[in-house]
Structures are given as structure tokens and as C-alpha cells.
Chains A and B, each alone.
Chain A
Amino acid sequence: MTIPALRFAGVGKSYGATKILDDLNLEIAEGEFFVLLGPSGCGKTTVLRMTAGLQPVDRGEIYLRDNPLSGVPPERRNIAMVFQDYALYPHMTVYHNMAFGLRRHGHGRAEADARIRKTAALLGIQPLLERRPHELSGGQQQRVALGRAIVRDPALYLMDEPLSNLDAQVRAGVRTEIKELQRRLGVTTLYVTHDQIEALTLADRMAVLNEGRIQQVGPPLDVYRAPANEFVASFLATPKLNLFDGTIERVDGAVLVRTAIGTFRSPNPPSALGGRTAVRVGLRPEEIKVSFALREGEPSLAIRLLEPLGSQVLAIAERDGADVTISVPADAVPEKAERLGVVPAGCVVHLFDRDDGVAVAHFRSA
């Protein structure tokens, strides 16, 4: 059995009477890129600050390679952090921003210099070394912030939404870069974000955090395909998860799920369904199959709005007061489309318990 690089064991945190984190348990493997995904204010930064030693842990313990961290001051944890606002020292050049931590950790001038040159070359920031942070673009500042972490050669990187202050164009580029860098350096990374795309693209494994609890842990595609509950499903849906009340009928060994927008058939009844007759049904916008070629008398939905996103179009449709958001390839949408029909076969359907929202089944309708 290998020792996890980082382990949270029953970690809890409260501010006064407000519980921010409740019994957090996680294991992150050596070299893994682990993403913690959660909505704003769910305690992501708090998790990182506790790991870095900037904030005390109220309950439980955090282990770095099996060494308990409580009582170890931040500078002795061998952990580097990339901050949301970069937190570069405004009065120091890029060079000294990187040198500062090295020098204070007792590295000699020559060694610090060698490390800085190497890291700068790795990140392509050699021409910026003599500049000050305010003379850099957002993307460059981001790169310097990464450099300051990398140059320390720590056992663990913590990254707090490092892309959230970049504009969309730069963001995608830097995202790829971070992923490649992490692969290359092989340093265990705990990355927190509220952006599902970042989580899906970057993570080796990810966890979804909400209301102080881990909702689900796993490889990103597993989490995406089989969300553990309504919250995870809706958090991993853009722009939103379509939710309907559904009723279950069992016909000839198959299961029929009836909803306001159509009936979906699962050929082999999922075992977790049990004896339920009522469920919540979730369909992501991109998981609904539609057709614009409608036959006379066929049930259909009125299109309220079409939002072109480039290659995809978001169709907001409605039927009997129920709103549905569907993502359709742009070239499949005829001009002046007014109605669309949901194709019952080929949709990805998620079923949740009506009371507690826990997932009971996921299937592709036939």
C-alpha cells in the first residue's frame, strides 16, 4: 500500500457558530493533479489555507506523506501556494519575487540564481525578470506566480482559482500550460475552482464540495457521467440541469420514465431503482436529443429563445409551464425554428430520489 501524498482525516472548521467544513476526508496520491470543485463560499480557500498552515484546523488532522501537519509552521511545511490574486510583492522585481522565498529558506545566492534561471526558462519568463508586477499583463503575472511556487521545488502545490482573474482567451491557454507543467514536474497538486470546465480538463481525480461536505470523489468523467446526487449533476451542467418530476412504470421488464417533456425507456431496469414509482429526473442540456422535423400531431415544445454560442445553440423551450434548456449543434437548427420535439431514444437520463436527491440510476434511453 502506498502512502498518500496528502490526506485529510475528519477535518472540520467553524467560524464562530458557522460550520464551514464538516468531517472532510480525502486522500490524494503522489503526483496526482487533484481538483476540488465547489460553489463560491463553500470553503475551498479555507481548505487550502489550513493545508498551508495559514489557518488552524479545528477538528481532525491533515497529513503530508503521513506526517501530521498540525503544529508545523507554514514555512516548514514544504508547500507552495498560488493565490487567486497572485499576491506578488508589488515592490520587488519578478526576479526578487522568486528569490525572496528561496533566500529566506536559507538557499545561497548562487543556488537561488540557478533555480530562478531554470524556472524562468521553463515558463518562458526570462525577459520579464527585471520587471515589477505592475508592468506585467494578467497572464504574465499568473506565470510569475506559478514560477514563485515552482522555484521552491515543494512537495505539494496548492492553487486557489489561479485562472479566475484571466480573460477567457488567456485562460484556456494558461490552463493547458498548467496541466502540461504539472505532468512534466510530477508534483502533487491540489487545485480548487468553482469552474466545472477547469475541473474536468485538469483533474486526474476530482472532488465536489458543497455545504462543508464532499459530495463525490472520482475521475472527472466518472463524476460527470454518474453524478452522485442532484447537486453534483446540476453543478456539472452548463448552463443548468433540467429537472422534472417523473413517474416510473414497469413494462415487459423494461422501465418507462414519464416526464413533462417526454417518456424515456430503459431496456434493463437499474437495480438501485428498487420499488420506487416516483423520482426526480435530470437531463443536461447537451444530453437531450431533439428533432426539428416534426410530424403532424407529434408532441412538441415551443421554442422561447435561441441563444447562439457559435458551434452550439442553446434552445430555451417550454411545455405546460416547464422550462427546458437544450444545447443543439448550430447547423441542426433550421431558420425560424418555432418548435422542437424531444427524441425519446438516445437521451442521457439521471434519476434521483425525490426526498434526498441521491442518484438512483443513470442510463441512455432506448
Chain B
Amino acid sequence: MIRRSASYAVLVAGLVPLLLPFYWMAVTSLKPKREIFTATPQWLPAHPAWDNYLLAWTAEPFARFFFNSAVVTALIVALQLVLASLAAFALSRFEFHGRRIIFWIIVAALIVPVQVTFIANFMTLAHFGLLNTYAALIAPYAASAFGTFLLRQAFAAVPRQLEDAARLDGCSGLAFLWHVLLPLSRPTVLAFALVAIVAHWNDYFWPLIVTNNNAVRTLPIGLGMFIGQEVTTDWNLLMAASIFVSAPMLLLFFFMQRYFVQSMLRTGIRG
């Protein structure tokens, strides 16, 4: 009993510094301007200003940014899942020349920092006249070495006898991938999908480089513009805009946490 309370105490102590910034963001987003800078920290807004959200939402075309972010993230993650599944399927269950080498090249690609590829990718896209399009935001991320690696490891752990059984049941090739390998690797797939969604939803640098037009800008860019543009920053509106960016991810984690924790545990064990 005592040990249990002690571990809760440690957890709470750890949570406070973690949650405090979120709390402060939420509170500030609701404060009227004059309540922001006070001599003593004000933990709750005296007069909640709900219209901060409306003001922030219309200060920039956030609806457009939101839509762009959703489309880009969804397409990137969908493409990554499809390509990683197929590549991992080939790498884990087929014998062919160069299989090991290809696998090691993919592992090597994991080591290369993504920034290294920016200039080459930018020039390629510019050459094809694709800057300021969804394609520019999506194409460089369509294939994921990380996802391919994770799925290959998960697929390779599925025993051969299961593949034999499936073949006798009339389920081979892509049907085997769909009906057996992917369902069995669900924890890995979910964990990877979540990580990818968060990474691309929050991505700032690459969209900043390839977009200069509101039609294709994403949420984080919109947020950045919001800061840069105002001479004296409206912190309450900025915090409200920040909620637009972070709320979907918080909701995603809230609803997926059960799977997410489970997935992390499983993939951890599998290595």
C-alpha cells in the first residue's frame, strides 16, 4: 500500500512539469489581453474570453491550413504504410538476389538525418515545377525506411508453418500479407502509424521550405506566420492557435492510448 502511494507520488511529481506548459497554454488562450501579464501568476482566467478562438481562427486562413495538414498527413501516412508493407513483405518472406544488401541499405537510410536530403529534394521538386503543391509536401516522405524496417522485423517473426498453412488454405501472396501478416503485426502497424502521424502533422521545416502560398500551407506554418506577423504578439490568440495544432494530436492519443501503450510494449519486446 505504501509502495503503491509512493509510486503514485513519483508519477505525479513527473507529470506536473510535463503538463504545466499545456495547462498554461490552455489557460492563456482563454484570457483577455489585460489578464496575461500580471504581477502574480493567474491560474484561472477571471473573465474567460471564448472569442479568442474565433479571432485566432480568422486572423489567418486556419481552416485552409487545417485541411491542408489533414490531407498531407493522411496521404503521407497512407503511402508509407502501403509501401512499407509491400517492401517489408518482400524483404521478409521472399528469397531473391540482393535481399540482404537492400535490407542494409534501408537500415543505413535510417542513420541519415532527414535534413541532409532537403537540398536535393528541393532542387528535384523545383526542376519538375512542383514547389507549392501537395506533391512537394508528400512525395519526399512517401517511403519510410523506419516503417519498412519495423514491419520487416514484425513480418520476419511470423513462423513459416503459418505461411504453409495459409497456402494450403488458398491464401498466398498479397492475400497472405493482408489476411495474416498485417493483422498479426497490428501493434507494430499502429505504433508506426501514430509516430508518423504526429511527426508529419507537426512538421515545420520542410513545409516552410517548399510552400509560400496559403493554398498549400500547413498548420504549423500558419502558426509560425501568426507569430512573425504581429509586431506586439497577442499571446492569448497565439495560444488559441497553438491549440488548433495540438488538439487533434491530443485527441488522437486520448482515444488510441490503449493501443499505443500496448504497441510500444510489444515492439519493444520484439526489438
The interface of chain A, by Cβ under 8 A from chain B, is 49, 52-54, 74-75, 79-81, 83-85, 87-91, 100-101, 104-105, 148
B164-172, B200-208, B258-266 - interface stretch:
B164-172
Chain A residues, Cβ within 8 Å of B165 = 81, 83, 87-89, 148
B45: min CB distance to chain A, Å: 49
Interface membership of B184, Cβ < 8 A = yes
List 4 A-B pairs, minimum CB-CB distance, nearest first: A101-B169, A75-B170, A104-B170, A87-B161
B212: min CB distance to chain A, Å: 47
The interface of chain B, by Cβ under 8 A from chain A, is 159, 161-162, 164-172, 175, 179-180, 183-184, 186
Contact of B159 among A54, A79, A85 (CB under 8 A): A85
Known: A87-B159, A87-B161, A87-B162. A81 touches B168 (CB 8 A): yes
Main secondary structure of the interface of B (DSSP, over half): helix
Q: Are B164 and A81 in contact (CB under 8 A)?
A: yes
* Number of cross-chain contacts by CB at 8 Å: 56
Q: Are B169 and A52 in contact (CB under 8 A)?
A: no
Contact of A84 among B161, B162, B167, B179 (CB under 8 A): B161
A sample of 7 inter-chain contacts (CB < 8 A) reads A52-B168, A53-B167, A75-B171, A75-B172, A80-B168, A104-B171, A105-B170
Known: A83-B161, A84-B161, A85-B159. A90 touches B167 (CB 8 A): no
Q: Are A75 and B167 in contact (CB under 8 A)?
A: yes
Once bound together, how far apart are the Cα atoms of A89 and B165, in whole Å? 9
Chain B residues, Cβ within 8 Å of A83 = 161, 164-165
B161: min CB distance to chain A, Å: 4
Q: Are A100 and B184 in contact (CB under 8 A)?
A: no
A159: min CB distance to chain B, Å: 13
B148: min CB distance to chain A, Å: 22
Once bound together, how far apart are the Cα atoms of A198 and B102, in whole Å? 46
B175: min CB distance to chain A, Å: 8
Once bound together, how far apart are the Cα atoms of A88 and B166, in whole Å? 9
Chain A residues, Cβ within 8 Å of B171 = 75, 100-101, 104
A263: min CB distance to chain B, Å: 53
Known: A100-B171, A104-B169, A104-B171. A89 touches B180 (CB 8 A): yes
Q: 5 additional contacts, CB 8 Å, given A52-B164, A54-B167, A90-B184?
A: A74-B172, A75-B170, A75-B171, A75-B172, A84-B161
B186: min CB distance to chain A, Å: 8
B189: min CB distance to chain A, Å: 12
Once bound together, how far apart are the Cα atoms of A78 and B170, in whole Å? 11
